[in-house]
Amino acid sequence: MGAGLLTGSCLSQWPSRGSLKGMKRPAHLLFGLLGFTLVFGGGLQLHAQAASKPMASTPEHAHAASPPSTSLTLTIDGKSTTLSAAELQAMPQKTITVQNTHTKREETYSGVLLGDLLAKYGFPVDQSTHRKMLRSYLVAEGMDKYWVLYSVTEIEGSEHNGDVIVATTVDGKPLGEDGQLKLVNSGDKKPQRWVRNLSAITVKSTE
């Protein structure tokens, strides 16, 4: 109830001082109740006005500002190798076409299969490493410190249908604001585990 509702005819019906003396409840309680109603009612009005204002929306999949990625640091069993975009482009390339649910369009990326990178720099998947593969995972991180997890099984072509690549081009062109390197996964329905401005991949084992 607002303060404006306790004016005019409502106040004219308020008991006189003389009639208050005959009441069983002390007069100060009644006047206290009036003050509470005025304050509390006004507070409700302010709350209702605030609730009616629309809240600002946050853009979906927003990214913090960061410098563009120019190289990838790959770490396997504690040994790190830094690869430039040119070195990655000189390796055998894989092209995948995916539906980007954020941009609402189909995109074609080209780059190196992540499984091939692991095999080349210290983690080939064969009979001797199969058990280790099942118990290993990797952390992929961008320049803005956004990071995601994959099991090594997910990026191994002999074990998983989807392709995970370190992309260097999209639709035949440079990646633009996504930096020089971008992790793209064709197996997920949403691109929430894609990493723009990719800068580091670290492989870890639970063994």
- Domain match, 194 and 103 both: yes
19 and 96 both lie in a single domain: no
With b for 16 or more beta-carbon neighbours within 10 A and e for fewer, the 139-166 pattern comes to ebbbbbebebebebbbbbbeebeebbbb
**Domain assignment present for 131:** yes
Residue 6, pLDDT above cutoff 60:
no
φ, ψ of residue 19 in degrees (nearest 5): -70, -25
Share of the chain above pLDDT 70, in %: 69
C-alpha span between 132 and 6 (Å, rounded): 77
Judge if 142 and 190 occupy the same domain.
yes
pLDDT category, 57, cuts 50, 70, 90? Answer: very low
CA dihedral 150, 153, 158, 164 (to 10 degrees): 0
Q: Name which residue leads in pLDDT, 153 or 30.
A: 153
Instruction: State the amino acid at position 105 in one-letter form.
Output: R
Identify whether 153 is part of a domain: yes
pLDDT tens digits, 102-130: 989 999 999 999 999 999 999 998 889 99
Residue 149 pLDDT exceeds 60: yes
Same domain membership, residue 101 and residue 42: no
* One domain for residues 89 and 162: yes
Q: Give me the domain span that covers residue 41.
A: 3-51
Backbone angles phi, psi at 186, to 5 degrees: -85, -10
Same domain, 102 and 143: yes
**What average pLDDT does range 42-54 have in this prediction?**
47
The CATH number of the domain holding residue 103 is 3.90.420.10
Mean per-residue pLDDT, 14-43 = 49
Clarify whether residues 42 and 135 are in a common domain: no
Q: Give how many domains the chain has, as a whole number.
A: 2
Kindly state whether residues 34 and 97 are assigned to the same domain: no
Q: Which single residue is written with the structure tokens 């593969």?
A: 133
Taking Cα atoms as reference points, which of 105, 123, 104 lies closest to residue 114? 123
Residue 64 lies in a domain: no
pLDDT in tens, 79-89: 999 999 999 99
Nearest Cα residue to 202 out of 69, 72, 76, 82 = 76
9's CB contacts (< 8 A; 6+ apart) are none
Task: Grade residue 66 by pLDDT with cuts at 50, 70 and 90.
Answer: confident
- Domain check: are 84 and 14 in the same one? no
| Nearest to 119, CA basis, from 143, 98, 140, 91 | 91
Asked if residue 179 is part of any domain, the answer here is: yes
Within this chain, do residues 107 and 26 fall inside the same structural domain, yes or no?
A: no
Residue type, 164: V
pLDDT class of 158 with cuts at 50, 70, 90:
confident
For residues 98 and 192, membership in a common domain is answered with yes
